[in-house]
Amino acid sequence: MPDSTKALDSGRKKMRSLKLLAIFTLFLGLSDGFSAQAVNTPSRYVALLIQDTGGYTTLEYAFSRTPAVLYSDGLLIVPSRIETQQYPGKFVSSFTQKKDLAAVPRFLAAAQELHLTDPKFDWGMPLIVDVPDTTFVTQISTKALQTKLSIYALGFDADVTPKSKRDARLAASKFRNKVESFSSEFMWTKSRPTIWKPTKWLYMASESTTESGTKIHKWVGSSPLHRTQSCLAMTAEENYKFNSLLPKLNSASRFSSNGAIWRVTVRPLFPHETGCQSIIN
């Protein structure tokens, strides 16, 4: 074979090798990019939150109210719809959870269709006073702004006019019921809801007296209790001690601290909440 032909053949082989190396390098680069994207996904956020707020009530009751909340990863946590009526009852409310990522856009599409993502929508005004608002918080994507609106006296709709506004309120109530019951209209997974057990807590304290069935427990905190009109967050150590004590508590339980008897109202810290400043009541 002539030298010129050998040189040409050698050059072609080198060119093919360089092309293969470039393709392989490009593949590695893309693979690294996809891997990084999978690892660096945004943290979950609140896609939908529903909670009663305001109204004429005690500070303790307003503080103890908790939301039904749907996260962007499909986790839905709701207050239990079945509570015992016996006395004394549970010390804290119970909660159930279910996860279905595909349900998130279905819930949000329904909320949007029902005007629950539109803070400017007119819901009318029932002829009743001192009842709570129902607050709806929505966010349709990581880049979208969070929307928040409140509907006054939702459920007290009989005298609302015109009929279109009354119908809109009824539809909003039905939607809330579907959210809190894990409706199969939105959550298509066959799995059953499970118990959600909080591990972090917020609390308020007020001086109290003993009554029938009252059992006094030593306060779990490192600092003595004192009356406050705002909430306090338990420390990691207090959370641990409280969670250990919780199975022994009921609604008649009281705590001793600083020479007095105290009634402690406790509320869980939800996954998206960072402390007292982040709760809605």
Last residue of a domain, one of 195, 218, 234: 195
What is the share, in percent, of the chain residues with pLDDT greater than 70? 84
Residue 194: other Cβ atoms inside 10 A: 10
Tokens matching residue 71 = 């996260």
**Strand, helix or coil at 52?**
strand
Own/partner pairs, 227-230, CB within 8 angstroms, 24+ separation: 228/204, 229/59, 229/204, 230/204, 230/276
Give the pLDDT confidence score for residue 150 in this predicted structure: 98
d(CA 203, CA 264): 7
Q: Do 153 and 64 belong to one domain? A: yes
Give the pLDDT confidence score for residue 209 in this predicted structure: 87
Strands (E), 58-163: 68-71, 75-79, 95-99, 133-138, 147-152
Which stretches of 1-122 are DSSP H helices?
A: 3-39, 59-64, 103-113
For residues 279 and 273, is the Cβ–Cβ distance under 8 A? Answer: yes
Q: What is the mean pLDDT of residues 97-104?
A: 98
Could you tell me whether strands 254-257 and 260-268 are parallel, antiparallel, or unpaired per DSSP bridges?
Answer: antiparallel
Q: Do 66 and 152 belong to one domain? A: yes
Residue-wise pLDDT for 204-226, tens only, equals 999 998 877 789 999 999 899 98
Give the pLDDT confidence score for residue 5 in this predicted structure: 44
Q: Do 50 and 33 belong to one domain? A: no
Q: Do 116 and 171 belong to one domain? A: yes
**Which single residue is written with the structure tokens 């996260």?**
71
Q: Do 31 and 160 belong to one domain? A: no
Q: What is the mean pLDDT of residues 264-273?
A: 96
d(CA 76, CA 66): 13
Nearest Cα to Cα of residue 80 among 160, 199, 180: 180
For residues 172 and 114, is the Cβ–Cβ distance under 8 A? Answer: yes
Q: Do 177 and 124 belong to one domain? A: yes
Sheet containing 232-233: which strands, arranged edge to edge?
Answer: 216-218, 254-257, 260-268, 201-207, 232-233
Tokens matching residue 95 = 């909660």
Give the pLDDT confidence score for residue 28 in this predicted structure: 33
The neighbouring-strand residues paired with 233 are 202
Q: Do 179 and 60 belong to one domain? A: yes
Q: What is the mean pLDDT of residues 36-62?
A: 78
Number of folded domains that form the chain: 3
265: domain range?
198-278
Residue-wise pLDDT for 1-32, tens only, equals 544 444 434 444 444 443 433 333 333 333 33
Q: What is the mean pLDDT of residues 261-271?
A: 96
Query: Between these two residues, 239 and 29, which has the higher pLDDT value?
Result: 239
pLDDT averaged over the chain? 86
Give the pLDDT confidence score for residue 275 in this predicted structure: 95
Question: Is 0.75 surpassed by the pTM of this model?
Answer: yes
Q: Do 140 and 217 belong to one domain? A: no
Residue 186 has pLDDT above 50, yes or no: yes
Give the pLDDT confidence score for residue 212 in this predicted structure: 72
Residue-wise pLDDT for 141-177, tens only, equals 988 999 999 999 999 999 999 999 999 999 999 999 9
CA pseudo-torsion sign 14, 17, 22, 25: negative
Q: Do 53 and 118 belong to one domain? A: yes
Phi, psi of 109 (to 5 degrees): -65, -40
Q: Do 52 and 158 belong to one domain? A: yes
CA distances to 30, 66, 98, 102, 187 from 170, rounded to whole Å, are: 51, 22, 25, 26, 21
Give the pLDDT confidence score for residue 253 in this predicted structure: 95
pLDDT level of residue 42 (50, 70, 90 thresholds): low
Q: Do 180 and 220 belong to one domain? A: no
Query: Between these two residues, 28 and 238, which has the higher pLDDT value?
Result: 238
**Strand, helix or coil at 16?**
helix
Maximal CA-CA distance, the chain: 110
How many C-alpha atoms does 79 have within 13 Å on its Cβ side? 16
Residue 202 has pLDDT above 50, yes or no: yes
